[in-house]
Amino acid sequence: MSQKTINRLKRSEGQIRGIIKMLEDDRYCIDILTQIQAVKAAIARAESQILKEHAATCIEHAISSGNEDEQRVKVGELVDLFDKLKR
């Protein structure tokens, strides 16, 4: 996993702790919601990067291996993931 993605998720973790503190301090709702949106965007970027890395490594390996069973498994994993995203 890239260090950039790990760092992004660590920042998100810190932001979430900050949001909890904002809630405990009874801060203005719009400020809290703005921070929640920032965390959601950061996590979406991390998710996208992880998917790109998966395609560049695992999927590419399955294709280049010529192993049809492995290819089916990897394609099935992606289909399952996209089905979950639709929910």
Domains in the chain: boundaries: 3-86
Tens-place pLDDT, residues 55-86: 888 888 888 998 898 888 988 998 898 888 88
Reply yes or no on whether the pLDDT at 8 is more than 90. Answer: yes
Whole-model pTM? 0.78
Measured on CA atoms in the order 47, 37, 82, 13, is the torsion positive or negative?
A: positive
Architecture of domain 3-86: Up-down Bundle (1.20)
